[in-house]
Amino acid sequence: MSKPSVSFEFFPPRTDHGRAQLIETAKELALLKPAFMTVTYGAGGSTKGWTMEAAQRIQQETGIPTAAHLTCVNTFKDGIHGMAHELWANGIRHIVALRGDIPPVDAPLNYADRNYYHFANELVAGLKTLHDFEISVAAYPEKHPDAPDMATDISNLKRKCDAGATRAITQFFFENETYFRFLDRAQAAGITTPIIPGVLPIANFEKMLGFAKTCGADVPGWLRTIFEETEDPYRAAQEALIMQVRGLAARGVPHIHFYTLNNADLVTAVCKAL
């Protein structure tokens, strides 16, 4: 079994204490020598400023290349370009480029307005004209919730890859075969960009169920049974994730991305088990 490289994603806390703790968590996980780390936005594209600041601080204080998430919905191109130039000037060379959440129906998007990037492939292409960024995009092994079917979703992924994406990172999943079937479909559609699996440590089972419902990830019955019957949820979470990442590694997956939920313990235990 080969040993895959790893990367870690963090989200922006709402409090000053949480933000300080995040930097310490990033320092702790940096000891595992990840290939890169990323910092996402808050809900609805909020916390853009702090996301940029956190990415810069984490990279400066850990020496690990760190990406900032950047979304395009309802943000003028000029504003996006300004953020991209600022990131580049501060040493950030990697962006996770996303469409972002569609606004409420009472504020519909005007797709004819060329002052905006409306889709992630447009954002990727625009960023590539500014600087030679490394760009990650999102992939959905169980289909994006907004896509009418998997074929449409894979076509959207291909457009992002053709626009210049360096890699795609999947939404989390719990059945490894779901990921490998998705790889086969992407390859059949002509996608050659690396698609790396994203995995989720289950620090809180009930919260995970909410995440899964939002993003359309299936929670298999065997996983529900494990957490319903266990008297030690932490150990159950650790064993479930170790089983998943070992299964991915055994199939030759070269890289695994962890959605850390800003918690070092589970991720550290699983990476050491690799």
Q: What percentage of the chain has pLDDT greater than the value 90?
A: 78
Q: What is the pLDDT of residues 223-271, one digit of tens each?
A: 999 999 999 999 999 999 999 999 999 999 999 999 999 999 999 999 9
Name the pLDDT band for 46 (thresholds 50, 70, 90). Answer: low
Among 107-121, 154-168, 235-249, name the one with the lowest average pLDDT: 107-121
Q: Identify the pLDDT of residue 101.
A: 76
Name the pLDDT band for 18 (thresholds 50, 70, 90). Answer: confident
Is 221's pLDDT higher than 90? yes
DSSP 172: P
Q: Is 9 a residue of the active site?
A: yes
Closest CA to 169 of 229, 253, 64: 253
Name the pLDDT band for 78 (thresholds 50, 70, 90). Answer: very high
- Pull the structure tokens for residue 121: 């492939």
Name the pLDDT band for 175 (thresholds 50, 70, 90). Answer: very high
Q: Identify the pLDDT of residue 49.
A: 77
Amino acid at 137: V
Closest CA to 10 of 57, 44, 75: 57
Q: Identify the pLDDT of residue 184.
A: 98
Is 106's pLDDT higher than 60? no
Q: Which residues contact 152 (CB under 8 A, 6 or more apart)?
A: none
Whole-angstrom Cα distance, residue 9 to residue 231? 28
Among 36-40, 42-46, 90-94, 160-164, name the one with the lowest average pLDDT: 42-46
Q: Identify the pLDDT of residue 140.
A: 97
CATH number at residue 224: 3.20.20.220
**Structural domain of residue 112, as residue ranges?**
5-273
The mean pLDDT value for 58-76 works out to 93
The mean pLDDT value for 88-117 works out to 80
Closest CA to 169 of 97, 121, 230: 97
Whether the CB-CB separation of 208 and 200 falls below 8 Å is answered with yes
Is 35's pLDDT higher than 90? yes
Is 45's pLDDT higher than 60? no
Q: Identify the pLDDT of residue 107.
A: 56
- Number of independent structural domains in the chain: 1
Using the CB atoms, write b or e for 193-231: b if 16+ within 10 Å.
bebbbbbbbbbebeebeebbeebebebeeebeebbeeee
Q: What is the pLDDT of residues 124-158, one digit of tens each?
A: 999 999 999 999 999 999 999 989 999 999 999 99
Of residues 147 and 1, more confidence is placed in 147
Name the pLDDT band for 108 (thresholds 50, 70, 90). Answer: low
Q: Identify the pLDDT of residue 42.
A: 62
- The residue annotated as part of the active site, out of 9, 122, 142, 175, is 9
Q: Identify the pLDDT of residue 251.
A: 96
Q: What CA–CA distances, in Å, run from 140 to 195, 198, 212? A: 10, 10, 12
Tokens 């719990």 correspond to: 174
pTM tops 0.75: yes
